[in-house]
Amino acid sequence: MSFEIAKQHFLDGLGFFQADQFEKAEFHFLESLKIMPDRVSTLTNLSATQIKLSKLSEAKDLLQKTIILDKNNTEAFLNLGLIDTAQLNFKSALIYFEQAITLNPKSYQAWSNKGLALTKLKNYDAALIAYERGINLHAKYPEVWLNKGITLAALNRHEEAFLAYEMALNLKPDYYEGLLNKVLTLQSLKRYDATLDVYEKAMKLKPDSDYLLGYYLYIKILIGDWNQLESEVEQLIKKINMKLKVAFPFSTLPLVDSPEIHLAAAKIFVKDKYSIDNSLDNIPHILNKKIRIGYFSADFHNHATSYLMAEFFELHNKDHFEIIAFSFGPSFDDESRQRLMNTFDEFLDVDMLSDKEIANLSREKRIDIAIDLKGFTKDHRTGIFAYRAAPLQVNYLGYPGTMGADFIDYIIADPTLIPQESQSFYSEKIIYLPNTYQVNDSKRKMANIQFSRADLGLPQKGFIFCCFNNNYKITANNLDSFARILKNVPGSILWLFEDNPTVKENLIKEASNRAISKDQLVFARKMPIAEHLSRLRVADLFLDTLPYNAHTTASDALWAGLPLLTLIGKSFQARVAASLLMAIRLPELITYSQDEFESLAIELANNSEKLLHIKEKLHNNRSSTPVFNTQLLTQHIETAYTKIYERYLANLSPEHIYIDQ
């Protein structure tokens, strides 16, 4: 009788497991074990259930017991590999999967997961071979197609990855992980309209899934779909305040002007992704002859970060500092990459290493200060810093906001970006540079081309307002404001950057709804940076966006001699343009209300003498003020590095640092 009860609980557990009702499945497996505690099949299925419930330590204990009872249990080794995969221990996971394959070479699940572990270890060729073995054994196993797609995406073979995800979804239409990975590939292919459809399917399938709402809203603004966006953002804010995992931190920046919300979202994300006790041993105090600075980025190529920082790296005082690049992005052989490789004392390509291995390498190189140039932006590797790559770790330039992480000690900013009353919204201590935080390259080249309006598809007459910010920064409120400005400047033009065809169509439609005629809206395609800087001179006034300001685009405009008008916000990303304008001594272009912003834009467009005066002032200030004085900013940052390092050597905890002029 007891055996029958145990058997029924076991069968019920299997049924609930197959229905993805894991808590109920766990209950029945546990009840079965109470009666038959050494039944191997129950132990393995319970462990698989607890893995689904993220009860990894309990599952591991069960599996160790299983192996004692049955040392040839393929499924036990497979599940141990899955646990180590979940805990990011990919090398040991690989060993478990290989043990499972040795016991059962026909285990397609083991081949599939071996491929994923190899992918995480950056051994992509071997991973693809493992998937082929799995597919040959069981071509209708959706997970092997999913994992193959992940590997192909890591190789930037996005079309092939898309086909692999389609195979997975054909086999299992409600495969949530398949939908999410398909979304990421569609984003990489810039097929944003299709991406939104897949997100909506995923939300219907699992509406409360982690971070899904934030990603969904980010895609909506990428394509300029503002339908119900205001109420959806309110829902997002409410859930963040409830400490729910609803938004990747970066996705909140263009949606909300609230440093409090940005901090909350970052803390939730860091606690979820990087709170496992995976730190390496404490770093001993080792005095180097020079302070060793490690710069960590995926953007050491033709990218905005490199455009801004190239001269800064060249100007580092090599008598006092040794600078080492840790590059974990694609290996581009372009102009910026070559320039940077000739600049650093060492340029390390670490893309094939795990986060822990990179942190270990940084320690081996005895890095004193690790500078994270990515934050929570594309291709970030925050895990490197969770392992403590250096005694001091600094958030700079790449991410315009707090990381909400106790393992990031400082953020580099300036008094405009982070007023003292906003310090509590940053988990880092703040290094205050005296002018602007944003480094620039005073050697930036501008193409020797005199573009005409006709060359750029612009009408021969009319005042040209422009906004070359990424289109996702343009909100409904921004477009409302632009429309009112255009209405009050007869014959004026709005010149925008074209990010993708879908957003262009949506912006044209939204502009039409605001009485902006099609003739008043002109879109510019991407072009080489030197030529882009040259074409900016054709515009009359740059209109900034809120809550996400112009950043590199603001520097571009000012470098080209184009005045920029901004409305200052509350958050870091909403105050960058103001920071640059303060540094270039043009505070008159900073406004503090929507009415003031629109009134000044209209006044400058209708008062050519006043605008000319501002352009002349900009021209004169470009070379005489700090904003493009790379040498001065380099000295200020080096002073900051020295100060925080001296505090560290004195066993003083991080504190706000103020750098004098």
Cis amide leading into 547 (omega within 30): yes
Residue 297: alpha-carbon gap to chain centroid? 12
Residue 275 has a pLDDT of: 80
Integer Cα distance of 174 and 625 in angstroms:
58
Residue 284 confidence class, pLDDT cut points 50, 70, 90: confident
pLDDT tens-digit map of 54-64: 899 999 999 99
Give percent of the chain above pLDDT 90.
Answer: 91
Q: Are 337 and 300 in contact (CB under 8 A)?
A: yes
Mean pLDDT, the chain, rounded, equals 95
Q: Which CATH number belongs to the domain containing residue 382 in this structure?
A: 3.40.50.11380
Whether 552 and 489 share a structural domain: yes
Residue 276 has a pLDDT of: 61
Whether 309 and 397 share a structural domain: yes
pLDDT tens-digit map of 537-588: 999 999 999 999 999 999 999 999 999 999 999 999 999 999 999 999 999 9
> Can you list the pairs that 186-195 forms with residues at least 24 positions away whose Cβ atoms lie under 8 Å?
186/162, 187/219, 188/153, 188/156, 188/158, 189/158, 189/159, 189/162, 190/500, 192/219, 192/222, 192/223, 192/500, 192/502, 192/503, 193/223, 193/502, 195/219
Whether 521 and 491 share a structural domain: yes
Whether 421 and 484 share a structural domain: no
Whether 353 and 269 share a structural domain: no
| pTM for the predicted model, two decimal places | 0.92
Residue 235, in any domain of the structure: yes
pLDDT tens-digit map of 19-43: 889 999 999 999 999 999 999 999 9
DSSP 328-373: -S----SHHHHHHHTTSSEEEE-TTS-HHHHHHHHHHTT-SEEEES
Count of domains forming the chain: 3
Residue 24 has a pLDDT of: 95
Q: Which CATH number belongs to the domain containing residue 571 in this structure?
A: 3.40.50.2000
**Any bridge partners for residue 271, and if so which?**
none
Residue 386, in any domain of the structure: yes
Residue 285 confidence class, pLDDT cut points 50, 70, 90: confident
Whether 369 and 242 share a structural domain: no
Residue 64, in any domain of the structure: no
Whether 213 and 321 share a structural domain: no
Q: How many helices (H) and strands (E) does the chain have?
A: 28, 14
Residue 286 confidence class, pLDDT cut points 50, 70, 90: confident
Residue 114, in any domain of the structure: no
pLDDT tens-digit map of 475-505: 999 999 999 999 999 999 999 999 999 999 9
Q: Are 2 and 34 in contact (CB under 8 A)?
A: no
Q: Is the pLDDT of residue 278 over 60?
A: no
Domain assignment of residue 248, given as a range: 204-276
Whether 513 and 565 share a structural domain: yes
Listed residues 249, 276, 303: the one ending a domain? 276
Integer Cα distance of 25 and 44 in angstroms:
13
Q: Is the pLDDT of residue 414 over 80?
A: yes
Whether 269 and 403 share a structural domain: no
Mean pLDDT (whole number) for 71-86: 94
